[in-house]
Structure 1
Amino acid sequence: MLPWVQLDSAPIPGESGELRLKQRGSEFSIMLGSNELMNSRLSGSEEALATLSRDKIAGRPRPNMLIGGLGMGFTLRAALSALPADASITVAELVPAVVQWARGPMSAVFQGCLDDPRVAIHQGDVGELIRQSRAKFDAILLDVDNGPDGLTRRSNDSLYDFAGLRSARDALRPGGVLAVWSSGPDAGFTRRLRDCGFAVEAVNTRANGKRGGARHVIWLAVK
């Protein structure tokens, strides 16, 4: 079996940890310590994050979507496939190196999706961008961590507390959807979403789509 080779590492702004990009043949992995955050072989639940969100806003003219976290681009690629030609997608990515990896060693994984004219990259904290926005987005998709319990960055918790969820609701247009990816269920988070005025649905997905894999959860919270 081919060994893993570390290609690069990058600090996480505001935190003591760092992300590591590793490669084994054509397979890529992004690690935080001993935790694998994402793998290029597993894309099913990230793609579902985009397609399930699209279903909630289908038929809207010029839909405007915010994706928190670039990752390996699976959510972005699925969104581009699902959304119309007049859509706008902003991808907020905190770690500059992740964008560099997308255009460099992982360019084959991204398949040029960052060059789509519908896409704009926002280099910075998605939470700050949400707080600055009012009735701007039809959909906000959050896949910036392991879920409502922050793993890569403690300040990510502020996206999922009451204040963060109210900010997300304010940033959505009427009928817009906040979609949140998680590695597992969280009944307390479901209650917080409802307490903030969202109509909530928790959808179980698999890491590798119809082929199975680990069980993940996507919350669809409609304003």
Structure 2
Amino acid sequence: MSTAYELPHGTDPSGPPEVIDRREGPYGEVVLRRHGGLLQIIANGCFLMDTSDGRSERRLVDAALDALDGRPGPEVLIGGLGVGFSLAHAAEQPRWGRVTVVERERAVIDWHLSGPLAEVSARALRDPRTEIVESDLVAFVNETSDTYDALCLDIDNGPEWTVTEGNQSLYSEAGLAACARVLKPGGVLAVWSATPSPGFARTLGNAGFQQVRTEEIPVARGVPDVVHLGVRAG
């Protein structure tokens, strides 16, 4: 199981961050940097995630799997590659069938295929069940003809704290209807958030999702992360 990135010998974790790569993409600037033993992803100056823990990303995948009805070989769509914790954890579980990850930033994909983040995801990327799709998730859920048993979203810091303005539509009733469209009957939507969002939980119910609930995930400091869950009607 992937956990924290190991601290390289001679690295001072209290020193300034080191920029490893910086790119300008269609959605703005993305940066990969190292701070001590951690790798961090920054988008448009907004800290997204690092390799310090990963428990909430792994719980995102587990919560979706737990909420399924025991169907064999469920297929999961993961929105956002990030540092790779969700993908790595899904690929470690033999119960999952196809594991598809949608990532819109070419730089993030490259950091996993041939960069430092390969240490987290290399084994998962070699798994024949794994597929990486370079696409904007908002467009993908509106255009794909594929369907999945679970959709795990981790593309923002939460429904009320999006990386780009265009992502906000995904958490509306219309956006959630698009998410439901790519789910099979009884399929599960799991949405990661850095803070609880009672309003989003209500929106899930208004969009037709059933068994809506919010699961808290303790973190080392601050308020718990959460996973919002809903089940598409059968």
Structure 2: stretches of 5+ with no match in the other structure: 1-13
Letter in 2 for 1:113: A
1:110 alignment partner, one of 121, 133, 146: 121
> Using the alignment, how far apart are the partners of 1:33 and 1:145 within structure 2?
12
Shift in alpha-carbon separation, 1:172–1:96, aligned structure 2, 3 A = same
TM-score (norm 2): 0.86
Q: How big is the shift at 1:111?
A: 4.0
Q: RMSD of the alignment, in Å?
A: 1.8
What percent of counterpart residues are identical? 37
In the alignment, the residues of structure 2 paired with residue 125 and residue 31 of structure 1 have an alpha-carbon distance, to the nearest angstrom, of 18
Pairing 1:155–2:155 present: no
Letter in 1 for 2:188: V
Q: Which has the higher contact order (CA 8 A, sep 6+)?
A: 1
Q: Quick check: 1:204–1:216 contact (8 Å CA) kept in 2? A: yes
TM-score, reference length from structure 1:
0.90
Aligned counterpart in structure 2 of residue 126 of structure 1, from 91, 114, 137: 137
Match of 1:218 among 217, 222, 227: 227
| Letter in structure 2 aligned against 1:81 | E
What is the Cα deviation at residue 12 of structure 1? 4.1
Note closer, same or farther for the CA distance 1:213–1:76 as it changes in structure 2 (3 Å cut): farther
Partner residue, 2:5: none
In structure 1, give the amino acid aligned to 2:17. Answer: W
Alignment coverage as a number of residue pairs: 216
Aligned counterpart in structure 2 of residue 11 of structure 1, from 5, 8, 24 = 24
Residue aligning to 1:202: 214
* Structure 2 equivalent of residue 190 of structure 1: 201
Give 2:101's aligned amino acid: V
Check whether the contact 1:94–1:124 (CA below 8 A) recurs between aligned residues: yes
What CA distance in whole angstroms lies between the structure 1 residues aligned with 2:193 and 2:40?
A: 18
Deviation at 1:26, TM superposition (A): 3.0
Structure 1 residues 3 and 58: CA distance shift in structure 2, 3 A? farther
Q: Which position in structure 2 is the counterpart of 1:93?
A: 103
Note if 1:64 corresponds to 2:84: no
Contact 1:10-1:95 at 8 Å conserved across structures: no
Q: Deviations over 1:31-72 (max 9, x none)?
A: 135532101012111110001111112521231110000001
Aligned to 1:46: 57
CA shift for structure 1 position 84: 2.1
Gaps of 5+ in 1: none
